[in-house]
Amino acid sequence: MVTDQTRLMVDSIKRLLRRNAYPNLKNIVSKTHAADLSIVFGSLASPEQSTLFNMIEEPANKGLLLKELEEDIFLGLVSNIPLEEVVNIFKIMPSDDVAELVNKLPEDTANTILKKMRIEDSQQVAGLLSFADKTAGRIMITDYIALADYTTAKQAIESLQKEHCDVEMPFYLYVVDDYEILVGVISLRQLVVVPPDTPLKKFMVTDVFSVSTDTDQEEVAKIVARYDILAVPVVDSGNRLVGIITVDDVIDIFRSEATKDILKMAGAGEEYVETKSVLKSTRIRLPWLFASCVGGIIAVTVIGSYESALSQLAFLAAFIPVIMGMGGNIGTQSSTIVVRGLATGRLNYNEVWIVVSKELCIGLILGLIYGAFIATVAQFRYDSSMLALSVGLSLISSMTIAALVGSLVPMIMARINIDPAVATGPFVTTAIDIVSVFFYFSIATYLLGI
């Protein structure tokens, strides 16, 4: 297990830090992958973090670590490093990573750093930052290999050896015409298997998947996943190649999008906030509970209006939880299936009636089954067939409506371009709660004649 190994590493690093065993620490630090070191940093106090950071010799490795750190730790660490050193580290990092980090810094620090970088580097970073958040333009890498279509395979290999040694992941070579317009793609593999004198245009693939700078990052990720490609080129409005997005970034996009959807559906914020601050977490979660609170107050009013019925037949109250709970749970099932189906492309928002009518059927069947079950319980416990009938009918209507609302709301949201995951939060459940309670008391007072 990765976690156990990391734990061991944290323990031994802490021990070595206490003993000031610098040569041993240096040895561990130089052998540990930045992704693992970043986890160790999460368990260290701020001065220890600085000590460890200064032990990393290569600025490139310092950069890799900065990229992996959680935002809080990154900001704390950077405030303890001379600005000159930060600039030197940023200078040799890929521009998309620098853009991501600069974006996290306070504005004045960010500007000072950009000013101190070489003009062409800082222009690249500022260029990326000019695109909207979560678009292809913002997350693309500008270090890619683009060659003219008349280049030969041999020349291409030579240019790989000489000029493009710093490119992150050179598995595809992109082919452009005289106007920098993307015309083809070649895999590194094809390059070594053709005769050396063949010009690229003779064997390039011309049917290239590409995205535009303003394509949403989730859309980019879906394209890469759908066609099993390792990188997708990004083109500007004039079809000129301006960057690429690689598969490792796509994995990160999928994971963070899945996290976002999960949190939204539970009404627990939009991003996974890694923070030790209780107050910050409380602030994020407070508003999401408000919907449920307002719903609860409406339920107080609804049930309050049946007060006289309740004082005659107090046992009516006993079935409120089961009717609300079953409705809420089947509603969550329906909306979860729809939201995830839309996110993964298994459902299409045009199929609204197919999806909703299926959910309606499922709600009805499950309502009939559990309605009959709970009605039997009511009959045995209170020996009143009218109560049993009321409870049964309420459960059926509550579960059917819940399945309907739970599937319809996210489908409509997707259709009108609102994120369906938000709809599945406390809002749907709360609406279902109120409707369920209202139906239950209407049916029961009518049937029991109170």
**Which residues ranging from 15 to 54 are in contact with its own copies (CB under 8 A)?**
33, 35-36, 39
Q: Which 163-222 residues touch its own copies, going by CB under 8 A?
A: 165, 169-171, 188-189, 191-193, 219, 222
> 399-437 burial, b for 16+ CB within 10 Å, e for fewer?
bbbbbbbbbbbbbebbeeeebbbbbbbbbbbbbbbbbbb
Closest to its own copies by CB, 11 or 84? 11
Determine the angle formed by the axes of helices 352-382 and 320-344, rounding to 10 degrees. Answer: 160
Contact status: 429 vs its own copies (CB under 8 A):
yes
Number of residues that bind its own copies (CB under 8 A): 118
**Binding of its own copies by 136 (CB under 8 A):** no
Nearer to its own copies, 63 or 267 (CB): 267
**Of 329, 379, 384, 442, the one binding its own copies by CB under 8 A:** 329
CB 105 within 8 A of CB 153: no
CB 174 within 8 A of CB 233: yes
Instruction: Give the integer Cα–Cα distance in Å for 296 and 234.
Output: 49
Measured at the CA of 162, the angle between CA 160 and CA 168, to 5 degrees, comes to: 50
H-run or E-run covering 211:
strand 211-212
DSSP 148: E
Is there binding between residue 370 and its own copies (CB under 8 A)?
A: yes
**Per CB under 8 A, 62 contacts its own copies:** no
Applying the rule CB under 8 A, the residues between 379 and 418 that interact with its own copies are 381
Binders of its own copies among residues 219 to 258 (CB under 8 A) are 219, 222-228, 230, 247-248, 250-252, 254-255, 258
Distance CA 78, CA 57 (A): 17
The answer to the question of residue 439 lying near its own copies (CB under 8 A) is: no
416 in Cβ contact with 258 (< 8 Å): no
Nearer to its own copies, 92 or 157 (CB): 157
Which one of 92-100, 120-128, 175-183, 339-347 is the stretch in contact with its own copies (CB under 8 A)?
A: 339-347
Which positions from 274 through 303 interact with its own copies, judged by CB under 8 A? 274, 276, 278-279, 281-282, 285-286, 288-289, 292-293, 295-297, 299-301, 303
